[in-house]
Amino acid sequence: MKNLGVWIKAIALFILCLALSSTDKQVYTLLEQASAGVIGSILGGITAGISVIFGILAVINKGQKCSSFTSYLGSLEADLKLLVICLGATIFLPYLRNYDLPLMNYPKYELIPSKDKLFTAAELFAVVLSLNLIVEVISCMILVVKQSLKTED
């Protein structure tokens, strides 16, 4: 049931992004130009911070077989994988917006959003999801450091 709540939140977030998305070329071009670089540089900084934390944990847990950090590290790993997927989405979605598959035509119905609006919503969704993941990774890193300070005392 926990996964159902996550899916419902993700769908609600995508619908919100769809409502806020625009078909204006200047708007989505600005989003496309800025998002991949920002998310990539933040991912690089987070990776550097995580490597420092792994170094600290390696020193603290040198003689122990089992660590109390396993759940934190599992959560951190999942968050980083999703963040890399979001980075890939922000890089490849602008390409896919302009690339038309010859065998697939995008449907043009009144209730279906236009192709530009749908791709802008997907890009917004990737950016918002990335921001949520960045907050989660940073809080997980802080929890690991707090936990390591507790075990050291």
pTM of the predicted structure, to 2 decimals: 0.80
pLDDT of residue 121: 92
Residue numbers of the domain that contains 126: 2-152
Largest CA distance in the chain: 65
Residue with tokens 């078909």: 23
pLDDT of residue 104: 63
Q: Is 1 helix (H, G, I), strand (E, B) or coil?
A: coil
pLDDT of residue 17: 92
**Measured distance CA(111)–CA(95) in Å, rounded:** 25
Question: Can you list the residues of the chain whose pLDDT is less than 70?
Answer: 1-2, 61, 63-69, 101-104, 151-153
What residues contact 53, with CB distance under 8 A and at least 6 apart?
141, 144, 145
pLDDT of residue 12: 93
pLDDT of residue 57: 73
User: What is the full DSSP assignment across 51-81?
Assistant: HHHHHHHHHHTSS-SS-TTHHHHHHHHHHHH
Q: What is the count of structural domains for the chain?
A: 1
